[in-house]
Chains A and B, each alone.
Chain A
Amino acid sequence: MAGSIKDRVAIIGMGCTRFGELWDKGPTDLVVDSVEEAYTDAGIEAKDIEALWGGSIFTAHGGRFFTEALRMQYIPATHVVNACASGQDAIRNAAYAVAAGIYDIVLAIGVEKIKDEGMSGLPGMDNRTHTHAVATMPGVFAIMATKYFHRYGLTPEEGKTMLAKISVKSHANGSLNPKAHLRNVLTIERVLNAPIIAWPLGLFDCCGVSDGGAAAILTSAERAKEFRKDPVYIKALQICGTPSSGRITTDYDYTHVEESYRAGAAAYREAGVTDPLKEISMAEVHDCFSITEAVTMEDLQFSPRGKVKDDIDAGTFELNGELPVQPDGGLKCFGHPIGASGIRMVYELYLQLQGRADKRQIKDPKLGLAHNLGHEPYAPLCSVCIVGL
């Protein structure tokens, strides 16, 4: 590979709306509220932005949506549509444009007004011709849980208890976060006794369904300290597309996600990370379902294959553990307004690195990782972003 993004681009301002069932807010409100917070944070004005990239699946239709909402005066604007990685890919495109020396100050934004789409959950995206009727989102991740339990010899009770601990941990973190949608504290019993959505997954194994917006302002590493004393530097930005092998071959095991593994491995190379569990201080991963987070811990090399249960039982991923995961509450508590999620994750890492995460503050973090998994586990597109001081 010819180049690396490491330490070439910095984040100098970020904003994020409260996530939730925001009936009184429209798409424009979510854009303007998150971007205005980012302007204030960076100490810049709208006229300083030279170009923007906006991630969204349902809400935006073209870059115009963003420039119109923000009353941007005739600047280049691009709508980024890349499944659950749309927000992170907006950051990636914006960062590359800065690294290329084309612009000094750019905006990456993600937004989704899910509650205007009339959905109570995200639809399956793989249902052409009814032959893939497995494809509700809870369904396609539930079949991973079944296989994971079977392969590693967990009874359904043992497996579901392992997964319940993931949701309990995320809600404990989310309860400390005023911007989270779901702030209730859960117990393992409550998770295990919840209605089944797609067995073995129950209600609390599924993330919320929420509206939200998040934004980041980027500039070159050279200029970053003109804006603030504590800019956060981009260390790696990787996206891994899929040949869709899990759908068409019998080799795929349904107990890992190859694209997450490869995006992670590429990001570690780019950032110079050789021991992820030791060197990564915190992670925000794509916990659309509890099983997704479990498998992702193995795909990102935080836990050995088949052993994530040991680390969950040991509390490794809790807020005071060795590697806190979902310190802000994750998709579990923020829901998944698709375009916004990736930037919302980076927002938490940014606050943590600057020591601004209040009750959720992790002690002295150095590197944070954000991960998204789009589409289905057998044919996903995955992104990994690493940021640090």
Chain B
Amino acid sequence: MTQPAPASPVYWRFNPEVFRLIGIKCNDCGHISYPRTKICHECGSLNLEEYKLAKKGTVHTYCVNWAPPPNFEPPITPVIVDLESGGRYQGLMTETATPEDVKVNSKVEMVLRKLTTDRGLNVYGYKFRLVEED
């Protein structure tokens, strides 16, 4: 699968979703989806509104990938994060001393980082870092 170039229209269309964390909330049943859907997953309604997601959440699951996609340096730690606002985000960990610091149920928060360099252009997006728990 060819990756779209970083300056291509697909990135522009994804901007609200990727950088402003806009998901959708169903006005009929309250279901929250991220990434956005055109039709409510739960009830089939088209009556949806934009819904801004929280930047904090909990690690649902993860792996430590030593053979990552092109343009990523191994190892990467992909995480599936259930956000406090509802919605689920697939992203990468950052600022961990070792990948073993990440656990199921770890509390994490999003920070804007350079994700990779692709065809000479920087690609930015959110990564997750561990939140100190007291």
Contact = CB atoms under 8 A, between A and B. Distances in A.
B14 A143 contact: no
Contact of A198 (B67, B104, B115, B116): B67
B74 to A, nearest CB: 10
Given A128-B4, A131-B18, A250 B63 contact: no
Nearest to A196: B66
A130 B63 contact: no
B65 A136 contact: yes
A231 B14 CA distance: 53
Contacts, number: 126
Given A132-B90, A143-B80, A196-B64, A248 B14 contact: no
Interface string A113-139: 000000001011101111111111011
B60 A254 contact: yes
B60 A197 contact: no
A61 interface: no
Given A124-B69, A144-B61, A150-B61, A134 B14 contact: no
Interface string A165-196: 00000000000000000000000000000011
B35 A139 contact: no
B61 A146 contact: yes
A152 interface: no
A176 B75 CA distance: 37
A124 B65 CA distance: 13
A181 B69 CA distance: 26
Interface string B1-26: 10110000011001000100000000
B76 to A, nearest CB: 7
Interface residues of A, number: 39
Interface string B43-87: 000000000000000001111111111001000101110100011
A95 B65 CA distance: 41
Nearest to B86: A250
A152 to B, nearest CB: 12
Interface string A48-74: 000000000000000000000000000
A342 B5 CA distance: 34
A252 to B, nearest CB: 8
A197 B69 contact: no
Nearest to B104: A150
B61 A249 contact: no
Contacts of B123: 130
A249 B116 CA distance: 27
A123 B1 CA distance: 7
A200 interface: yes
Contact of A133 (B61, B69, B82, B86): B69
Contacts of A143: 61-63, 78, 80
Nearest to B72: A133
A274 interface: no
B93 to A, nearest CB: 11
A199 B63 contact: yes
Contacts of B115: 130, 133
B129 interface: no
B78 A249 contact: no
Contacts of B41: 243-245, 248-249
A147 interface: yes
Contacts of A197: 65-67
B10 A142 contact: no
A201 to B, nearest CB: 8
Contacts of B92: 133-134
21 contacts: A121-B67, A123-B69, A125-B1, A128-B3, A128-B14, A133-B68, A133-B115, A135-B69, A138-B65, A143-B62, A146-B63, A147-B61, A147-B104, A197-B67, A198-B64, A248-B87, A248-B88, A250-B82, A250-B87, A250-B88, A254-B60
Interface of A: 121, 123-125, 127-136, 138-139, 142-147, 150, 195-201, 243-245, 247-250, 252, 254
Given A134-B63, A136-B67, A198-B65, 20 more contacts: A128-B10, A129-B18, A130-B116, A130-B123, A132-B90, A133-B68, A133-B91, A134-B80, A135-B90, A143-B62, A143-B63, A144-B61, A145-B63, A146-B104, A147-B60, A199-B99, A243-B41, A248-B37, A250-B82, A250-B86
Closest 3 CB pairs of A and B: A134-B78, A142-B63, A147-B61
